Amino acid sequence: MYRYDDIDRAIVRDRVSEFRRQVERRVSGAITEDEFKPLRLMNGLYLQLHAYMLRVAVPYGTLNPDQLRVLASIARDYDKGYAHVSTRQNFQFNWPKLADTPDILERLAEAEMHAIQTSGNCIRNTTTDHFAGAAQGEVEDPRITCEVIRQWSTFHPEFTFLPRKFKIAVSATEHDRAAIQVHDIGLQLVKNDAGEPGYKVLVGGGQGRTPMIGEWLHDFLPQAELLSYLEAILRVYNVYGRRDNMYKARIKILVSEMGLDDFRAAVEREFEHFRAMGPGGSIDLPEEERARIAGYFAPPALPERAGASEAFDNALASDKDFARWVRHNLHPHKEEGYVSATVSLKPTGAPPGDITDTQLEVLADIAERFGYSDVRTTHEQNMVLPHLALDDLYAVYQELDDAGLATANAGLLSDIIACPGLDYCNLANTRSIPVANRIQERFEDIDAQSEIGELKIKISGCINACGHHHVGHIGILGVDKKGEEFYQLTLGGSADERASIGEVVGRGLSTDEVVDAVERVISRYLDLRQSADERFIDAYRRLGAEPFKEALYAEAA
Amino acid sequence: MSADVVKIATGGVKKGKNQGLKVVTANDLFTGAVIYWSKGDLWTEDLSDALAVEGSDALTALEKAFADEKAAVGPYLMDVEPDLSPSGRGRLRETIRDRGPTIHPEFGRQAEER
Ligand code: SF4
């Protein structure tokens, strides 16, 4: 993985001491809260309902065991013994104290981590496929691109005060696991006819109050021109994006107000300006620098192995729970004899994405002993061990299981994304996590979930859509009706290469009604599907919303 | 405009009117803990010790709370019943702020009573 150079180390250290002095000045009264608030937000420190919340950046979701141990130590020493994986592949701490924050940041800096640009109207953490570097069919490891973007966007002086926050995602496989179509910019790594890698560029996707699927801005951008093209897009957005109304300030609104053609023309004009400067005059990376960064993402030295493993086969035959976990939580690896495994943070009844200090340490140990010291966070609020030998898999599973980390539900209906909602969030209308937990309880039997098949349920406690409800196969949005919690269902959303925004179906449902309603939609699907291979989303695409709406409201009346 | 129809922030992004019984609430600057303005112009973590006020008295209390920047962040007026329990549209939000997250009964003030 990428390791800090002297420049990275210096800017992160400087930032910590700067923030320490800012906190001192706030406490002494030398600066007001209005002055301090943007400074703390630039360092990832929010104020939620009960406490501060610190959001730690996890660039493209990649962590090593030492970093996991540092996160565990922060959870233990400064928080309440747990941390939380966010839908931007970051970590959040829910209870830090203001005075401790500089020390926390210092501890993070020692492990090459920080909280910079995890808030505010700047370019946020670039996210990617959590199987990056391990997945089959990759054009190249997408994290190389993410790291190039990280270096370019960190403290970029021109883009520190954009009209709104800005999110970029990168995918390097045909199957999109990074939700690139619902990002401000989505980059799809592809090869041209000559076999050279480059990018298809999407712009103007997003969720929130006005969900939109991104539009294709460029069919093939040579890799060498990535940064000047991104800079051109950001420059157009920075100049023309709306600053008069925060709800209309995202780039998706600018693209739709300008129209794609005019927006593209404006970007091309800026792009030409960079091109005219010629090699060395633009902001693009010299090839040797790109190669240096790429070197950090060289695949781990995986010993050659056979495609089959006797140890694995024996365990599979003798342990039903292991077989269930294998069935749902594994993903094919590009090397024979290896797999990637999803470490589910969705046991029934626990807040989706929470992980304790002890569990973080267990995961660090497993990664060190069996996983080539590589761990990922996922935007679906789970974690991943990307490189595991089939021969080691049973031992890994048993250790995960002992630590409560072997729930066999990846991709099933209890693998729910839920935002923090009204249990923590200052902006929430309703709670999200208790709804997720009640759905998990209703469908607790994993074999019954397995029978239902892949089903993505996503829950947000308000229209900001941090829980990605717009792209849930079943989305649930919390709405406030005169102080009571109500929930609006959307159906048919999807965040993959066939991305779609879910359709709002009917009136809001009360807290008491919502779980029954989800169950009715699911049983209607089971009645209507053509075979067990037809997933919920496939059946929805074939049949449309109507039969599901009927099921929802006929009996709810 | 009389004090009872003044538009006020009611926490988060919500707005409301200055009508009925109010308590000034904020977060403690150092810990982030939920605090309430009480008699003697002091902050308390105990809602039952809070100062309940109405109309222009509520606005005065809010002004004083705002002036106390060294202790508190983001004061606003919340609705309360005469017994000082949270009421109105923000009832659930304020109950959760006061007690703690419903998904973690082991944390927050609710834990102290277990
Ligand atoms: S969706 Fe709304 S309630 Fe949920 S975390 Fe985001 S802002 Fe808070």
| Residue A99 to residue B30, Cβ atoms within 8 A | yes
Task: Let me know if residue A300 belongs to a domain.
Answer: no
Residue A551 has pLDDT above 50, yes or no: yes
CB atoms within 10 A of CB A10: 11
Considering only the beta carbons, identify the residue of A29, A47, A434 that sits closest to B69.
Answer: A29
Residues A272 and A139 reside in one and the same domain? yes
Determine the Cα angle at A503 with ends A497 and A508, to 5°: 140
Question: Within a domain: residue A19?
Answer: yes
List the single residue in A98, A351, A483 with the smallest CB-CB distance to B89.
Answer: A483
Residues A298-304, mean pLDDT to the nearest whole number: 96
CATH assignment at residue A224: 3.30.413.10
Q: Tell me the C-alpha distance between A355 and A376, whole Å.
A: 13
| Side-chain-facing half-sphere of A501: CA atoms under 13 Å | 15
CA distance B39 to B43: 8
Going by alpha carbons, the residue nearest to atom 2 of ligand 1 is A462
Å between A28 CA and nearest CA of chain B: 7
**Token digits of residue A474:** 């079943």
For A45, the closest chain B residue by CA position comes to B32
**Does the beta-carbon distance from B96 to A423 stay under 8 Å?**
yes
Is residue A278 located within the same domain as residue A217? yes
- Does residue A282 share a domain with residue A139? yes
Residues of chain B positioned with their CB less than 8 A from the CB of A32: 69
Q: Is the pLDDT of residue A183 over 50?
A: yes
Length of chain A: 557
Model confidence pLDDT, tens digit, residues A351-377: 999 999 999 999 999 999 999 999 999
| pLDDT of res. B1 | 42
A103 — contact with chain B (CB < 8 Å)?
A: no
Confidence grade of residue A134 (pLDDT, cut at 50, 70, 90)? very high
Looking at beta carbons, which residues of chain B come within 8 Å of A99? 30
pLDDT in tens, A466-523: 999 999 999 999 999 988 999 999 999 999 999 999 999 988 999 999 999 999 999 9
Element (H, E) at A27: helix A6-28
Domain count, chain B: 1
Would you say residue A556 has pLDDT above 80? no
Both A99 and A173 in a single domain?
no
How high does pLDDT run on average in chain B? 91
CA of B12 relative to ligand 1 center, distance in Å: 11
Residue that the structure tokens 């009844």 belong to: A349
Helices (H) and strands (E) in chain B, counts: 3, 6
* Helix H or strand E encompassing A34: helix A33-42
Same domain, yes or no: A314 and A288? no
Angle at CA A185, nearest 5°, toward A458 and A275?
Answer: 170
Does the ipTM exceed 0.90?
Answer: yes
Interchain pair A51, B33: CB under 8 A: yes
Contact B90 A426 (CB under 8 A): no
Question: Mean of the pLDDT values across residues A402-426?
Answer: 98
- Cα B100 to ligand 1 centre (Å): 17
List, for chain B, all residue ranges whose pLDDT scores fall below the cut of 50: 1, 3-4
Q: Out of A27, A50, A422, name the one closest to residue B32 (CB).
A: A50
The verdict on A150 and A287 lying in the same domain is yes
Looking at residue A378, its pLDDT comes to 98
Helix A33-42 crosses helix A6-28 at what angle (to 10 degrees)? 160
Confidence of residue A426 (pLDDT cuts 50, 70, 90): very high
pTM score: 0.96
**Residues A228, A149: one domain?**
yes
Say what the pLDDT of residue B3 is.
Answer: 47
Residue B22: domain span: 3-112
What pLDDT score does A140 carry?
97
Q: What is the mean pLDDT of chain A?
A: 96
- Give the mean model confidence (pLDDT) for residues A8-33: 96
Please name the helix (run of DSSP H) or strand (run of DSSP E) that holds residue B7, with its range, or none: strand B7-9
Residue A554 has what pLDDT?
A: 67
A47 to B74: CB separation less than 8 angstroms, yes or no: yes
Quote the tokens at residue A224.
Answer: 């060498």
Q: Please tell me whether residues A380 and A472 are part of one structural domain.
A: no
Q: Are residues A281 and A368 in the same domain?
A: no
pLDDT of residue A292: 95
Q: How far is the CA of A466 from the centre of ligand 1 (A)?
A: 5
Which atom of ligand 1 is the closest one to the Cα of A465?
1
Q: Which domain holds residue A469?
A: 417-552
Residue A187 resides in a domain: yes
Specify whether A134 is located in the same domain as A11: no
Instruction: Please report which confidence band the pLDDT of residue A277 belongs to, taking 50, 70 and 90 as the band edges.
Output: confident
Are residues A98 and A218 located together in one domain of the fold?
no
Supply angle C-alpha A113, A3, A369, rounded to 5: 85
Residue A103 domain flag: yes
A321/A281 same-domain check: no
Total of domains in chain A: 4
